[in-house]
A and B are shown apart, each in its own frame.
Chain A
Amino acid sequence: KNEVEQSPQNLTAQEGEFITINCSYSVGISALHWLQQHPGGGIVSLFMLSSGKKKHGRLIATINIQEKHSSLHITASHPRDSAVYICAASVWNTDKLIFGTGTRLQVFP
Chain B
Amino acid sequence: DSGVTQTPKHLITATGQRVTLRCSPRSGDLSVYWYQQSLDQGLQFLIQYYNGEERAKGNILERFSAQQFPDLHSELNLSSLELGDSALYFCASSVGRGSYYEQYFGPGTRLTVT
- Name the contact of B107 in the complex, choosing from A41, A50, A94, A97 (C-beta under 8 A): A41
Whether B103 contacts A45 by the Cβ 8 Å rule is: yes
Interface of chain B, main secondary structure = strand
Q: Is A48 an interface residue (CB 8 A)?
A: yes
Whether A41 contacts B88 by the Cβ 8 Å rule is: yes
Measured between alpha carbons, how far is A103 from B110 in the docked complex, in Å?
Answer: 21
Chain A contact residue count (CB 8 A cutoff): 24
Which B residue sits closest to A31, measured CB to CB?
Answer: B100
Interface of chain A, main secondary structure = strand
Measured between alpha carbons, how far is A101 from B38 in the docked complex, in Å?
Answer: 11
| Chain B residues near A44 (CB-CB < 8 A) | 2, 105
Whether A50 contacts B100 by the Cβ 8 Å rule is: yes
Task: State how many angstroms separate the Cβ of A97 from the closest Cβ of chain B.
Answer: 5
